[in-house]
Amino acid sequence: MKKTLLAIICSLSLYASELDLGMGAGVMFYPDYLGSDHNNALYIPFPYISYVSENLEIDGNGVKADLFDINNLSLRLSLSGSVPVKSSGIRKGMYDLDPSIEIGPALVYTLYEKEGLSLKIDAPIRAIISSDFKGADYRGYIYDPKLSIEYNFGDGYQFQLHTGGVFADSRYHNYIYGVKLRHSKKGRAYHKTDAGYSGYKTSMGIEKKFKNLWLGTFIRHYNLTGSIIRSSPLTVKNSAIYGGLFVAYLFDKSYTNRIKDWVEN
């Protein structure tokens, strides 16, 4: 299975590439959903994979696969997801929120790229698939246009800033914020949510790669003022904050190069 996965990764590029592997652990802080008044802490081990080539990049921010690139305009594959959430607080007695994966294309226009600094307009649209591990359900889509700023300081430091609005269709909004008649009660009235603006997101992160160590942290803020989801009885707060801190031990380069050669040959 491991060789199959690495073979797929390496086969996506016909150009020189670089692979780093390791094992890590981290902690994330996040609300049940945007607008929830209940927060969670999640401690997770994770495999560290960093793969960079002409057409594909895999790192802590996900997968970026170039499908085409013409005159600073490129089409990429965008991936994201969410962890499962047990219903509590205002959602108590309703269905739990299953883990989900988000996948779709992203149109990226490069405004500036020079001397370690890049400014891009990134406009992904992703379908959302949730699963209770017995089956899968389509939950709608999210449109997430943003301005992305990345700066490499040198010596392995990288800073990232992403800012922009978030939009979703009514199917997704009602999965999170809709209240069916059988779930309505005092303080939680029946509610249907339309498609539209879901809030404004600003995310900052910084990472540092040493010879055998990688450190990363991020913080993300959502402002729900003026959003369509603000009218839902399930939206208790007008903002949300996510954060995380991660550390990974990187395997020796000679080891990862042997794995890469083994897969490619």
For 211-227, write each residue's pLDDT tens digit: 889 999 999 999 999 99
Q: Are 236 and 36 in contact (CB under 8 A)?
A: yes
Task: Name the H helices within the chain.
Answer: 2-11, 170-177, 253-264
Place of tokens 């609005």: 165
Q: Are 234 and 177 in contact (CB under 8 A)?
A: yes
pTM above 0.75, yes or no: yes
pLDDT band (50, 70, 90) for residue 146: very high
Lowest-confidence segment of 127-131, 153-157, 172-176, 261-265 by average pLDDT: 261-265
For 10-39, write each residue's pLDDT tens digit: 444 434 467 888 999 999 999 999 999 899
Domain layout of the chain by residue ranges: 22-48+69-252
Q: How many CB atoms lie within 10 A of CB 181?
A: 7
Lowest-confidence segment of 57-66, 128-137, 195-204 by average pLDDT: 57-66
The angle subtended at Cα 166 by Cα 165 and Cα 169, nearest 5°, is 140
Architecture per CATH, 22-48+69-252: Beta Barrel (2.40)
The whole-chain average pLDDT of the chain stands at 87
Give 186's contacts (C-beta < 8 A, 6+ positions apart). Answer: none
**For residue 59, what pLDDT is reported?**
62
**For residue 12, what pLDDT is reported?**
40
**For residue 241, what pLDDT is reported?**
96
**For residue 11, what pLDDT is reported?**
41
Q: What is the mean pLDDT of residues 92-114?
A: 93
**Cα→Cα distances 86→83, 94, 118, 182, 188, Å:** 10, 9, 39, 18, 18
